[in-house]
Amino acid sequence: MQTRSTTKTPQGKRLSIGIVGGGIGGVALAVGLSRTRDLEINLFEAAERFSEIGAGVSFGPNAVRAISLLGLEKAYRRIADASPAPYGDVWFEWRRWHDEAYLTASLAPGCGQSSVHRADFLGAIVSHLPEGIAHFGKRCRSVEQDAEGVSVSFEDGSDFRCDILIGFDGIKSAVREHVLPTVEYGAFDPNWSGTQAYRGLVPTERLRQALRAVDVDEKMATVPQMYLGPDRHILTFPVKQATLVNVVAFVTDRSMPNPQLSEGAPWVEEVSQEEMLDDFPGWGVASRAILGCIDQPTRWALHELPELPRYVRDRVLITGDAAHAMLPHQGAGAGQALEDAYVLTELLSDPACDRVTAAEVLAAFEGVRHARTCRAQATSHEAGNVYEYCGTGIGSDEAHIAADLKQRFDWLWNHDPQDDVAAARQWLGGEMAVES
């Protein structure tokens, strides 16, 4: 893309918007905004093409609601997996670690465990992105702004000017430094949570056979399961139209308050099956059978961000994992990014949002989203403690754990991001349109 030096919004356009980061949240936002003709949208991705790391991603009812509101439901439904009948409302069944005894189930009526392969979902929404919006090989180096607009510099030597900039550039965000300068706020670097996660995708039929061989009900291959134990837990759910099962096995080091990775240790590495199995001594036959189906596991050091004091600085906003990266224990991270994308789409598409009012609109977005996303971060961390028999006031009391898991997700799932849009419009004094 050619270097831009002008601060003027392109002729006939109400607002020029730059988006840094081409993951699920950034692409969903670009797709949503691209439907408004008087907006100029440019999306910058550091890689040479759209890609997603990781395997399965789980969506709760709130995330599916955001996907629908963004006009992406048909694309999503074509690739999404669900809990099989008659378990359609099951998000997870919860079981004890050493004998797989059933503890309880968390139900999400009408949704259940709605899941996809990350790369498949990204591909589905990319197909809705108009030509010419995405620019690749654009790794953000720095951001500056003045009264007229925002300048973004990229490592390839190019730069770009826009009216507002949205940083959807992940947990290692470059845009975050501009919003929260280290010299002013101190560092907000990702923290290792103390948890390592072994990941693998297992052919469903292979898992069925492995469970059958140890005399375990093979329905546990396709009905989402979570096996809970001290400092460890294992989850399984189907992806790829139930041809594969996503398996993640978590191990947490709670030997010290602030565990540290060894210097230079990779965030993701390949490990042996033996090393993974050695981390789950004494676990039940089903758990061991599941892990035994992962021939080449990868191990991920799970990081999160601390709660940030703010997400916006005048014309620049960070959101998604750039603002509130969280642990995966509630399946909430991608859902919060999609809620962010929907709320921003509605607010920035409103005709009342222009170069003069845009900074105020971004501030209103922060005002209605900050508390919820921070709560999602905190409760995701807490959920991992509950799963691993370390929940505050709960510990290893399985009756208490079961009671907690029946209601833990209600506040998260029952939220409607349309309420955030309405609250932001009220925040702005009712000057924005009732409907975009």
Quick one: how many helices (H) and strands (E) in the chain? 15, 19
What was the pLDDT predicted at 356?
Answer: 95
Cα→Cα distances 202→47, 55, 168, 236, 292, Å: 28, 11, 31, 10, 10
- pLDDT, tens digit, for every residue of 154-176? 999 999 999 999 999 999 999 99
**Residue environment code for 366-400, b if the CB has 16+ CB neighbours within 10 A, otherwise e:** bbbbbebbbebbebbbbbbbbbbbbbeebeeebee
Instruction: Please say if the pLDDT value at position 2 is more than 70.
Output: no
pLDDT higher than threshold 50 for residue 277 = yes
User: What band does 206 get if pLDDT is binned at 50, 70 and 90?
Assistant: very high
Confidence of residue 84 (pLDDT cuts 50, 70, 90): confident
**CA separation, residue 142 to residues 19, 159, 160 (Å):** 14, 9, 11
Q: Specify the pLDDT at position 154.
A: 97
Q: Which domains does the chain have, with CATH numbers?
A: 15-56+64-76+116-189+305-427 (3.50.50.60), 85-111+192-302 (3.30.9.30)
Region 275-282: what's the mean pLDDT? 97
Which of residues 100 and 119 earns the better pLDDT score? 100
Mean pLDDT of 279-291: 97
Verdict on whether the full-model pTM lies above 0.85: yes
Between 11 and 37, residue with greater pLDDT: 37
Query: Can you tell me the mean pLDDT for 395-411?
Result: 97
pLDDT higher than 50, residue 435: no
Provide mean pLDDT across the span 253-258.
Answer: 89
* CB neighbours of residue 245 within 10 Å: 29
On the question of pLDDT at 187 being above 60, the answer is: yes
Range in 121-125, 234-238, 430-434 the model is least confident about = 430-434
pLDDT in the model for residue 257:
84
User: In what order do the strands lie in the sheet containing 316-318?
Assistant: 134-136, 39-45, 15-20, 164-167, 316-318, 312-313
Q: What is the mean pLDDT of residues 331-353?
A: 97
Of the pLDDT bands very low, low, confident and very high (cuts 50, 70, 90), residue 127 is very high
Question: Looking at residues 365-375, what average pLDDT do you find?
Answer: 98
Query: Is the pLDDT assigned to residue 202 strictly greater than 70?
Result: yes
Q: What phi and psi values does residue 13 have, to the nearest 5 degrees?
A: -110, 135
Q: Which residues are catalytic?
A: 199
Per-residue b or e along 63-86, where b marks 16 or more CB atoms closer than 10 Å to that residue's CB? bbbbbebbbbeebbeebbbbbbee
